[in-house]
Structures are given as structure tokens and as C-alpha cells.
Structure 1
Amino acid sequence: MMPQRLIKPLRRSLWLGAAAAGLLAACGFQPRREPELLFHSLALTGFAPNSPLASELRRQLARTPVQVVEDANKAELVLEALLDTRDKVSVVSTSAGQVREWQLRVKLDYLLRTTSGDLLLPRTELRMSRDLNYTETMALAKEQEEAQLYRSMNSDVVNQLLRRLAAVRLPG
């Protein structure tokens, strides 16, 4: 049996938790859900070979009922990548020419069409950039940080893309 001095704080904690849950439910708060896509198959074309963006998009689409099809003629919709690049630009350097800050960028230009050629989304640009401070003494750590930042940007771009695909209404 639990002592009386422990029951009172436990009861208070339960009441506070229930009140907080009730307030959150009353204000309409809901955690973000996966976008609901209104089509069944999608072909990805125009992506760079071994594109990290295409890989991330395939990975995210695997969590939905949408099937990624290799043949564009057999898909309901075609996502055509017009530009799929990532680059790294020096932003700050010392007088000796040593880079102190990089800007990492991911660029995706795409359009969405049906297999018959009807344009559902015109050319759309998605841009993502992150700044990376750099020192030669921590080169390996900065290399790992750069890879992590690129993964994060890819994920953000794909999430934006999926939200835009969820807003697409099929003709007919």
C-alpha cells in the first residue's frame, strides 16, 4: 500500500496532466500527420543519378500507399525533376585565403504532370541553404556535420514536396 503522503502529489500530477490534455484537445491542436496523397502511382524522372533527393523521396513515399513506378507510361502522375543539385559556396574567408564559413545549398526544380502531358503543377523551385562554420583543426567533425546538414535539407525539401503533392487534385 502506498503511503498517504505520496498519493496526494500523484493525484495532483494526474489532474494537471488530464487538464493539459483537455486544453490541448480543446484548442484544436493535432500533431502533424503524413500528407494524404490522392493518387496511386508516381514516376520520378529527371533526377540526377544516385540523387540523395530521389532516394529520400522514395523512402518517404514507401510510408504511403503510393507506388513509385519506374516506367512513366504506367504511372498515374509523373514528377519531373528539371534541376537537382547540391553545392557548397565559400561565404567567409581569411586574408590568407582560408575558408571560415561555407553555405550549403540544395536546389530542386520540378513539375508535375499526368502521363498524357496535362500539367498539374508548373515549374516549381525549392531552395534550401544552411551555413557551416569551418576550421581546419576540426576537418573530420565538420565533414560529418556537413553530411548531416545535407541529409536534413534533403528531408526538409522532400517534406515540402510531399505537402505540395497532397494538395494536387487529379483532373476528372
Structure 2
Amino acid sequence: MRARRQLLLAGLAAPLAVALAACGFQPRREPELLFQSIALTGFAPGSPLAAELRRQLARTPVKLVEDPNRAELVLEALLDERDKTSVVTTTAGQVREWQLRVKLDFLLRTPSGEILLPNTQLRMSRDMNTSESAALAKEQEEAQLYRAMQSDVVNQLLRRLAAVRLPA
């Protein structure tokens, strides 16, 4: 009985795998960047978003250059901000829900000043319920939500960088 079930499952899995391969399904891969070096400017010192971007770029063959004049491309951060606003409060003034936001405005240019990507805005927001009885857990949840949003923003940024073609 058990062998028959396994054989039946294997018989169903094989056509499914063939169908997925035939439709062009592929797991998401790292974006392929078509430049050799990049400089990051305009980020606040100690910016968690800049740190995540540096970490992700370290996984690619692209070299991170400190001097913008020596890089092929310059990513200039115009706004790098996190904020938290109350969305729902009780009649007693206690906050019951927060909205967490990560904002990044940037442009991409060559060292000579030619704009390759004009001012682009990336925004992420998440809502988070809160209660005074679980304050420590909610702090950890908030930090985790910020990390997830920051990772999403960096992934979107890398996909935009992968679409950039250098001027000839």
C-alpha cells in the first residue's frame, strides 16, 4: 500500500516538474550588474540601509569605491529615512497601532555628472499592532520589520541597478 502511494506521488510529481520547466519558471536569481565599480554618496553615517546595500554589493563582482571620481557609477542618496507614526490610538491616548516606514530617494549618475537614473523614490511601510504588556517583544518585532523593509528596498535598488546601461 505504501509503495503504491509513493509510486503514485512520483508519477504525479514528474509531469508537474516538466510543466514548470516548460513554462519558463525559474527561481529568482541575484541581479546581474553590468558595471565594474560604484561609489555610494549622501548616506548618513551609520545608515543601516547603506550597510545593507554594502553587504549585498559585496556578494557581487562589483567593486565598492570610496572616491566617486574613480567609480564607473555614483549612487547618490538624496533621502535615507526611517520613521514611525501612530495610526490607531485609544480614547485614553494609548497607541494601539504604528506605521513603520523606510524611505530612500536616490539618483544614479556617472562621475562626470551624466544622470543615468533620475530622482527615484523607494518606499516601504508596515503596520504593527502594539500592547504595553508585550513591550519587549514588540521592540524586537519592530526591529525585524525594519530589517525586512530595508532588505526589500535594497533588493529593489539592485534590480534597478541591473537595468542600467552605461553610456558608450
User: Normalising by structure 2, what TM-score?
Assistant: 0.96
TM-superposed deviation, 1:9:
2.8
**3-state SS, counterpart of residue 8 of structure 1:** helix
Structure 2 SS opposite 1:126: strand
Which 4+ stretches in 1 moved above 6 angstroms? none
> 2:161 maps to what in 1?
165
Deviation at 1:152, TM superposition (A): 0.4
Cα displacement string for residues 28-68 of structure 1 (whole angstroms, at most 9, x for unaligned residues):
11111111110011100000111111011111111111111
CA RMSD of aligned residues (A): 1.0
The code of the aligned residue for 2:102 comes to V
Partner of 1:9: 5
Which of 46, 49, 55 aligns to 1:53? It is 49
Percent of pairs with identical residues:
75
One of 86, 91, 97 as aligned partner of 1:90: 86
TM superposition shift of 1:6: 4.4
Greater Rg, structure 1 or structure 2? 1
Aligned to 2:51, the other structure's residue is in SS state helix
Which runs of no fewer than 5 residues in structure 2 stay unpaired?
Answer: none
| 1:34 paired residue among 20, 30, 41 | 30
- Corresponding position: 1:150 with 2:150: no
For residue 112 of structure 2, give the secondary structure of its aligned residue in structure 1. Answer: coil
Which consecutive unaligned segments of at least 5 residues does structure 1 have?
Answer: none
> 1-side partners of 2:140 and 2:117: how far apart?
36
CA distance in 1, matches of 2:9, 2:76: 53
TM norm structure 1? 0.94
Residues 128-149 of structure 1, C-alpha deviations (whole Å, 9 max, x = no match): 1111111111100000000000
Residues 41 and 6 of structure 1: is their aligned pair in 2 closer, same or farther, counting only changes over 3 Å? Answer: same
Q: CA shift at 1:127, angstroms?
A: 0.8
State the shift of 1:16 in Å.
1.7
